[in-house]
Chains A and B, each alone.
Chain A
Amino acid sequence: ILELRLVQATLFKNVLEAISDLFSKANFDFSGTGLELQAMDTSHVALVALLLRAEAFNHYLCDRDLSMGLNLADMAKAFRCANNDDIITIKAEEDWSDTVTFTFESPEDGEISIFDFDFVGTNGVPLEIPEFPESEYQAKVRMPSAKFMRICKKLSSFGDSGDRDTVVIISVDKECVNFFTRGKTGTSTIVCRQTQTVDKPKEPTLIEMKEQVSLAFDLRYMNSFSKGSTLSDQVTISLSSNLPAVFEYKIAETGYIRYYMLPRIEE
């Protein structure tokens, strides 16, 4: 039997908002450890992995590992009907008939909404994602997640928004990380310096560089990744010319959401 409860719907609402525009289906793996979610976009360019440990839930009972594919668009629609302070219960029975039940209960007026979701195929996830040693990344940038989102928005407004293939070049050089994009009639560069932690101890921009690196990414994807900002105040971007870049948001002490994408390579 699987039975989970969260006393505030916000966490799950934010997770769905952070993934449902780019990823249409996801694999949900429930085990004694917690929930692991994985999804890939239809072009197989980006991968998202989420971990919510059992401690993230107010009640967590999972006596047998359970894996299910679910349609994220349908789930996002259901969750938009849930209030932030609704109590969510997630249930699947032992003789599960390929469905999972999400219940939203309003603590104020006692109204209960029940959604049953059928399992769907997930085209190739979950994948085994090895964790590469830190030393294999040429640079690591940590910054406030709101700042990263703002940078993505600025670059998008400059690059022609109708162009689905706007490329952003992220380059790290000592104490600077630069975001560069080319619009129709010019270029745009946003320079972020490492900030002195004394000035703004809560919002540092930290740069760890082993060697200079300059990599190209599809801005459309980066924009979607920046929606993880509702889950964490900070984002860490790990860069390597021959590994997928990792955009990681830590979720309090209870897990993380990581987006993976390979840099574009020259033909």
Chain B
Amino acid sequence: SGVQLSIKEFYRSK
């Protein structure tokens, strides 16, 4: 259930 987002993309976008 649900979708797992990439931690790499998260920090790259910060």
Contact = CB atoms under 8 A, between A and B. Distances in A.
B6 A44 contact: yes
Interface stretch (A113-121, A123-131, A155-163): A123-131
Contacts of A87: none
Given A128-B14, A130-B14, A167 B1 contact: yes
A262 B6 CA distance: 8
The majority secondary structure among interface residues of chain A is loop
Contact of B7 (A45, A128, A265): A45
Interface residues of A, number: 22
Interface residues of B, number: 13
Interface in A131-149: none
B8 A266 contact: no
A265 B3 contact: yes
A216 B14 contact: no
A244 interface: yes
Q: Name the residue in B1, B7, B9, B10 with the highest tally of chain A Cβ atoms < 10 Å from its Cβ.
A: B7
A9 B9 CA distance: 35
Given A127-B12, A128-B14, A130-B14, A47 B2 contact: no
Nearest to B12: A127
Q: Name the residue in B3, B4, B14 with the highest tally of chain A Cβ atoms < 10 Å from its Cβ.
A: B4
Interface of B: 1-12, 14
Interface of A: 40, 43-47, 124, 127-130, 167, 216, 218, 244, 260-262, 264-267
Given A128-B14, A264-B3, 4 more contacts: A44-B8, A47-B8, A128-B11, A266-B2
18 contacts: A40-B7, A43-B6, A44-B8, A45-B4, A47-B7, A47-B11, A127-B8, A130-B11, A130-B14, A216-B1, A244-B7, A244-B10, A264-B1, A264-B2, A265-B2, A265-B5, A266-B2, A266-B3
